[in-house]
C-alpha cells in the first residue's frame, strides 16, 4: 500500500487523525476497525461521485461491513431538510443504530449533510470524512463544522461535530473537473497569504506543478494545507476566539459575490476575487503596502483564478449581503485584512464606504 501521512487534530472535545496520501483509500476498512461500530456502514455520496467511485467503495467495504449506499443530489441541493429526512428514513429502514457508521464520500456539500445527519441521528453516531474534491480535502472536511440550508440562507442550521477521522486521498483529484480543481487551489493560496509567507512562496514558485494532480508538489501543498487547518481548529475549535476567523480571509467579499451570482461562481472563484479585494481594502485602510495586494492577485491569476468582479455588479446589493455575514457584529462588517503576506488580522469594523470605493474603482 502507499505511504500515509498522519496529522493529529487535538481539540478540547475530541482528538482525531487526518490521513493524507495517494492510493490510501485502500486503508479505509482497516481504519474503520479503529473505533467501536456495529458493522453497519452508510456511504453518503452524490450522483457524480457515486458513478465514479460508488461500486468501488461498496466492494471495498462489503468484505467486512454491511454497506448501504445512499445517493443524494449534487451540490448544495443535498443540504436540504427534505434530503436530511430522507436519509434518516433510509438509516432507520436499514436498521442503523447508535454504533453504526456514516462515511461522507464527496465534496463539501456531502460532508456538510453527512456531518449534520451523523450529529443528529439518534443524538449522534460515528462518521468519517472521505473528501473527493480539493476544496473539501484542504478545508471543508476538517474541523467539525456541518450545516444545512433553509429558505432564509445558506448554512443557517448547523452543528460542530467532529468525525472519527478524515482520509484525504489525493488520487481522487484525477477525476476532478479542472474548473473545480482550480477553485480548490484558491483555499490553498489562502493559507499562505494569511498564515505563512514560507508556504506562500512555495505556492508562488511551484504554481505550474500545482496544476498537475500527479505531482509531489500538489501532494505537499495538500498536506501542508491540512496541517494549517488542523492547527487553527485546535486553537479555536468553536470559532469564538477570532483565530479560526483568519481562515475566512477572502470570504466576506467572496461569500457575498457567490450569493450575488446566484452561485454561478464556484466557491473558490468567489474567494479568489474576495482575497484580491480584501487585500486592496487592506491597502486603502493603511494595513499593508500596495505591493502586497499586487502580489496576491498576481499569484491567483497565475493559477487561472478570477480576481475582479464582472461588469454591472450592484455594489449596494453586495454590501447588503456582507452585512449578513456570520462575522458581522452589531451591523458592522468584519473582514480579515493583511498586514503582510503571511500575517492576517481580523478587523471587526470595516467602513462600508471603503469597501464600496475599492470594488467600484478597481
Q: Looking at the annotation, which residues are catalytic?
A: 123, 145, 187, 229, 241, 244, 248, 251, 255, 267
Query: Max Cα separation, the chain?
Result: 61
Q: Which three cell numbers stand for residue 92?
A: 432507520
Task: Mark out the alpha helices in 94-162 (DSSP H runs).
Answer: 108-120, 134-135
Element holding 282 (H helix, E strand):
helix 267-284
Q: Which residue has the cell 478570477?
A: 306
Q: Give the separation between CA 359 and CA 362, rounded to whole angstroms.
A: 6
Determine how β-strand 4-10 pairs with β-strand 15-21.
Answer: antiparallel
- CA 200 vs CA 53, 195, 238, 249, 306: distances in Å: 33, 9, 26, 14, 18
CB atoms within 10 A of CB 303: 19
Q: Which residue has the cell 495586494?
A: 293
Q: Sign of the CA dihedral 321, 324, 330, 335?
A: negative
Amino acid at each position: 500500500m502507499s505511504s500515509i501521512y498522519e496529522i493529529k487534530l487535538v481539540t478540547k472535545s475530541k482528538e482525531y487523525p487526518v490521513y493524507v496520501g495517494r492510493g490510501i483509500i485502500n486503508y479505509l476498512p482497516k481504519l474503520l476497525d479503529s473505533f467501536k461500530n456495529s458493522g453497519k456502514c452508510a456511504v453518503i455520496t452524490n450522483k457524480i461521485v457515486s458513478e465514479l467511485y460508488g461500486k468501488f467503495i461498496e466492494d471495498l467495504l462489503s468484505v467486512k461491513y454491511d454497506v448501504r449506499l445512499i445517493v443524494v443530489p449534487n451540490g448544495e441541493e443535498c443540504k436540504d431538510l427534505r434530503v436530511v429526512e430522507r436519509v434518516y428514513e433510509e438509516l432507520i429502514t436499514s436498521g442503523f443504530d447508535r454504533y453504526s457508521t456514516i462515511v461522507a464520500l464527496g465534496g463539501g456539500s456531502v460532508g456538510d449533510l453527512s456531518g449534520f445527519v451523523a450529529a443528529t441521528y439518534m443524538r449522534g453516531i460515528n462518521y468519517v470524512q472521505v473528501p473527493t474534491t480539493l476544496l473539501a480535502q484542504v478545508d471543508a472536511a476538517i474541523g467539525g463544522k456541518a450545516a444545512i440550508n433553509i429558505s432564509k440562507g445558506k448554512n443557517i442550521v448547523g452543528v460542530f461535530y467532529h468525525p472519527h477521522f478524515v482520509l484525504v486521498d489525493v488520487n481522487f483529484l484525477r477525476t476532478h473537473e479542472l474548473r473545480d480543481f482550480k477553485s480548490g487551489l484558491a483555499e490553498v493560496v489562502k493559507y499562505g497569504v494569511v498564515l505563512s509567507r514560507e508556504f506562500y512562496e512555495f505556492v508562488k514558485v511551484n504554481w505550474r506543478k500545482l496544476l498537475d494532480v500527479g505531482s509531489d508538489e500538489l501532494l505537499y501543498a495538500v498536506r501542508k494545507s491540512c496541517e494549517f487547518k488542523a492547527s487553527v481548529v485546535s486553537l479555536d475549535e468553536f470559532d469564538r476566539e477570532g483565530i479560526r476567523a483568519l481562515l475566512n480571509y477572502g470570504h466576506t467579499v467572496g461569500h457575498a459575490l457567490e450569493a450575488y451570482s446566484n452561485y454561478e461562481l464556484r466557491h473558490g472563484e468567489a474567494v479568489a476575487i474576495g482575497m484580491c479585494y480584501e487585500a486592496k481594502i487592506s491597502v486603502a485602510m493603511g494595513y499593508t503596502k500596495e505591493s502586497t495586494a499586487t502580489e496576491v492577485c498576481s499569484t491567483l491569476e497565475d493559477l487561472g483564478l478570477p480576481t475582479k468582479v464582472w461588469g454591472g455588479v450592484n455594489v449596494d446589493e453586495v454590501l447588503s449581503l456582507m452585512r449578513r455575514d456570520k462575522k458581522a457584529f452589531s451591523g458592522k462588517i468584519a473582514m480579515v485584512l493583511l498586514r503582510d503576506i503571511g500575517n492576517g488580522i481580523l478587523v471587526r469594523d470595516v467602513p462600508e464606504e471603503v469597501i464600496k470605493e475599492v470594488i467600484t474603482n478597481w
